[in-house]
Chain A
C-alpha cells in the first residue's frame, strides 16, 4: 500500500453470547438505537414486521433477518452489525443462544476479541450461560463482560445481582475466565446502556458503552517467534513466489530461515508486492505476503517457515482440547481430516482422555466417543508429521479444525505434550492409555543443567575407534561440568537386546532401540553419546527421525582399510554378520560430520577436541 493518506479508525470485534432469550439481540438493537447507528426507516420496518407477525415490538428483528427467525422469534445464525462510538468502530456479532445452533455461535464467536455474556437476572445462570462460557475459554477469548440483563424484572435488586456474580465467578474461575466486570442493565428499557442508570444507583461500575471502550485491542503477535505458514507457491513469471500469511513474528530480507518439517534452511531474498515494489524490508504478523528465497528447492503448502533457532514442534501425536459440533459423534478408529493453518492431514483419535459436559463441567462416564456439543481432552495421531505450537503460546499455529466427511465438525486447541513423544510415534498394542502431561519441561531442565541436550551419534565400522573417542568425549564433557550419558551399543547386547540376532534385521532393531533410549535421555535434558556401527543408511535415517533431525548429530568415524585391519584385533567385537561384510558401510545422504582416522595409533584427544568444537554452541 502507499503511504497512509486515508483516515482509518480502530475496529474491534465483539460477540454477544448467552442463553436463549436472555436478551442478546435486544441489547444489540438497543445499542444501535442509542448510538444513532440505525438507518432511516429501520425502526419503522421493525414495527411493521412486529405487527405483521402479530408480536410486540422487538429490537431483535433488526438482526434476525431471516423470515424463519422472525416468525419463530429465534436467532438461527450469527449476524454482524456495525456501530461506532467516539473512540472507535465496532463489529458486534450476535450469536444464537439455542443449544442446537451452537455451531453457529462458535462460528460467530471465533472471530471476536471480546465477549458480552448475557444472563437474565430473573432466570439466572442457565445451561447455555455456562456452555458459552466454556466455549469462550476454548476459543481463547479472555476479555469478557458479564451482562446481568432484565434488571427491571427483579426491581433492580442489588442482592440478585450479587448472587449471580458470586455463583458465576465460581464457575468461570474454573475455566480461567475472570470477567472484567458484571454490568447490571435493562436492555429493553435502555438502563445502564449508554448512561448511568438512576435505578441502579448502588452500582458503581461502567455502563455498556464505557465497558466496550475500555477493552484494549490485542496487537498482532509481532513479538513472538516467526511462524509463516506456506499457503501456495506461484510461478506466474520468472519469480518463484512463496505466498502465505505471517501468523506470528517478523521476517526480514536476508533472514536465515528453516522450513519445517523438512528442516531445510535458506535465506530470504526478496519481499514481493504489486503494483509497486515493496518499500520496506520487513513483514510482520497478520500480513498476507509473498517472498522469494535463495535456494529454490521444492516447497509446498503446509510447510512452516520459522527462524532457525525457534522452530515449531513437529510430531504425529499431540494432546488437544476439542469441542465437537458434528451430528455424528467423534469416535476412535475412524479417519478424519485435520486442518491446522494450511496443513491438511488425515488423523485418528488415538485416545479419549476425558469427556466433559460443557454446561456443568462434569466428566462423562464413558470415554468411547465425543458427542455433539461435548468438550473433550483427546490425543490425536496424524498420518504424517505436522508442525504446531501449544495454543497457550501461539494462536495461529496452536488451533485446528477436524473435518468429518464434508463438514468442519470439531475445533481444537493444542495442549502441552510430553516432549519425548515427538517426531515419530508408533502404535501401542493397547490404545486405552494416553501420553501423559509433564510438569517440568525439557527446556527447564536444560536451563538448570546449563546445556542443550543432543544425541552425539558416533557411527563407523568395527575398529574405527568409536568407543575410544566416546569414552574420552564423555570424560571431557564431565570435566566441563556437563550432564552426560553414554550408550554403548555393544553393552545393550548383554541386556535389552540380548534376544536379537547378529543379522541385518537385528542390526536395524538394535539401532531403533538405541535411538528410542537416547530420545528419552535428551528429552530429560541430558547430552547423550551413542556408539553404534549402524552401517545401514536406512537404519540411521530411522534413528534420526526418532530423535529429530535438530537433536541428532551424526559423526562418521571413517578409518582407512589398513587402519581397520590393524586395529580390529584390539577392538571389542560386535559381530553383525560374516566377516566378508564387515567392511560394508552406506554413507548418509544428508550432511554429517566426518572424522577421518589414518593412523592406527591416532590421538584420541585431538578427535575429541574436533567434536567439542562442532558442539560448542550447546555447551
Chain B
C-alpha cells in the first residue's frame, strides 16, 4: 500500500468506528478542502451513502463562492445538511471588529456548542489535521468534550492500536478526527488522485488564491498563479509559509487556537 492508501484505509476505519458507536452522529462540513475530502471518504466507507447529517456553522461572513458550492453539492448528491447560525449574536451586530477571537467565539464556537445540544449529538466528526497548528497536533482521534464542549487537553486518556474512546459520561460528546494524520499536501494529492470536486477559491484569480478558507473578513489569499491541483502540490512542496498564515484569528495571541479550542472551537 502506498502512503495515500494507508491514510484512506485508516480514515475509513475511523469513520466506520464512529458510525458503529454513536447513534447520534453528525459531520461538520465547512465546504473547505479537508472536510470535502472527509465527505468523500465517508461515502467511500459507506459505499456511496453518507449515513449521518452534515453540519455547516454559517457565520454569515463566509466567502459567497463557498455557499454556492455548498448548495450545489447538497442538491446534486441529495445530502442531508443542517445549517446552524447564531442569529441572536448577528442581530446584536457581532462582527470581527469587536475582536476576532470574540467574533470566533460567538459565531463559531457557540453555535457549534448549541448544535450539539439541540440535536443531542454523541459524536461529531471534524476534519482537523495535526499539521495545521500546535493544539491540533496534540489531539486524539476520538477526543471527549464535556457537556459545555470544553476540552481537558492536559489530561487526555490513552489512545492506542486503534482502540478509541467510546465510553463516556452521558451529556458529554466525542469529537472524531478521521483526518488527524493527513498533511496538507496529502489532502491535495488525494483530491488529485480521486478527482474530488473542490471550491474554485483554491485556484488563482488575479494572481491570488486561497490556501485555507474561512470568513472573508479574517481570511486572506496568498500570492499565487497556480490554477490546477498539480500546481498546488508543487507550490506546497516548496513553500515555507504555514497553511494558516492567512487566517487572522490564529495570529491574535500565541495561544489563540488552544484558547479557542479548549472551549469547543473546531
Contacts and interface: CB of A to CB of B under 8 A. Distances in A.
Interface of A: 1-2, 4-11, 38-42, 45, 48-49, 52, 65-68, 76-82, 89, 91, 103-104, 106-107, 110-111, 220, 231-232, 234, 236, 239, 241, 243, 245, 272-275, 284, 286-288, 290, 301, 325, 337, 339, 399-401, 403, 405-409, 411
Nearest to A219: B1
Nearest to A89: B3
Interface string B116-160: 000000000000001101110110100000000000011011111
Given A107-B140, A275-B48, A232 B134 contact: no
A118 B48 CA distance: 47
Nearest to B4: A8
B171 interface: no
Given A288-B12, A301-B20, A2 B165 contact: no
Q: Which 3 A-B pairs have the closest CB atoms?
A: A65-B134, A110-B160, A288-B12
B160 A80 contact: no
B19 A236 contact: no
Given A232-B20, A408-B158, A5 B241 contact: no
A111 B154 CA distance: 21
B88 interface: no
Interface residues of B, number: 59
A4 B222 CA distance: 30
B163 A408 contact: yes
A2 B163 contact: no
A78 B153 CA distance: 11
B192 interface: yes
Interface in B140-195: 140, 153-154, 156-161, 163, 165, 167-169, 181, 183, 189-190, 192-195
Q: What does DSSP make chain A's interface, helix, strand, loop or mixed?
A: mixed
Given A40-B240, A66-B135, A231 B16 contact: yes
Interface stretch (B38-46, B63-71, B102-110): B38-46
A286 B183 contact: no
A408 B3 contact: no
A78 B167 contact: no
B156 A104 contact: yes
A290 B48 CA distance: 12
B9 A2 contact: no
Interface in B25-59: 43-49, 51
Contacts of A81: 137
Nearest to A139: B160
Interface of B: 1-6, 8-10, 12-13, 16-17, 19-20, 43-49, 51, 130-131, 133-135, 137-138, 140, 153-154, 156-161, 163, 165, 167-169, 181, 183, 189-190, 192-195, 240-242, 245, 254-255, 258
Given A241-B47, A288-B13, A408-B163, A2 B193 contact: yes
Given A65-B134, A241-B47, A325-B158, A288 B193 contact: no
A274 B20 contact: no
A77 B153 contact: yes
B227 to A, nearest CB: 18
A411 B44 contact: no
Contacts of B130: 79-80
B240 A65 contact: no
A77 B183 contact: no
Contact of A274 (B9, B44, B189): B44
Contacts of A275: 43-44, 48
Contacts of A65: 133-135, 137-138, 258
13 contacts: A6-B193, A11-B6, A39-B240, A65-B135, A67-B255, A67-B258, A80-B181, A236-B47, A274-B44, A286-B5, A301-B20, A406-B167, A408-B159
A104 B3 contact: no
B154 A232 contact: no
Nearest to A232: B20
B189 A8 contact: yes
Contacts of B160: 106-107, 110-111, 401, 408, 411
B242 A39 contact: yes
B2 A8 contact: yes
A468 to B, nearest CB: 55
Contacts of B242: 39-42
Contact of A236 (B46, B156, B159, B167): B46
Contacts of A408: 157-160, 163, 165
A80 B130 CA distance: 7
A409 B258 CA distance: 26
Contacts of B20: 231-232, 301
Contacts of A68: 154
B48 A236 contact: yes
Given A67-B255, A274-B44, A232 B19 contact: yes
Given A39-B245, A231-B20, 18 more contacts: A2-B195, A4-B2, A66-B135, A66-B138, A66-B154, A82-B131, A91-B181, A106-B158, A106-B160, A107-B140, A274-B44, A275-B43, A287-B1, A288-B45, A337-B167, A401-B160, A406-B168, A411-B160
Contacts of A288: 8-10, 12-13, 16, 45
Nearest to A45: B254
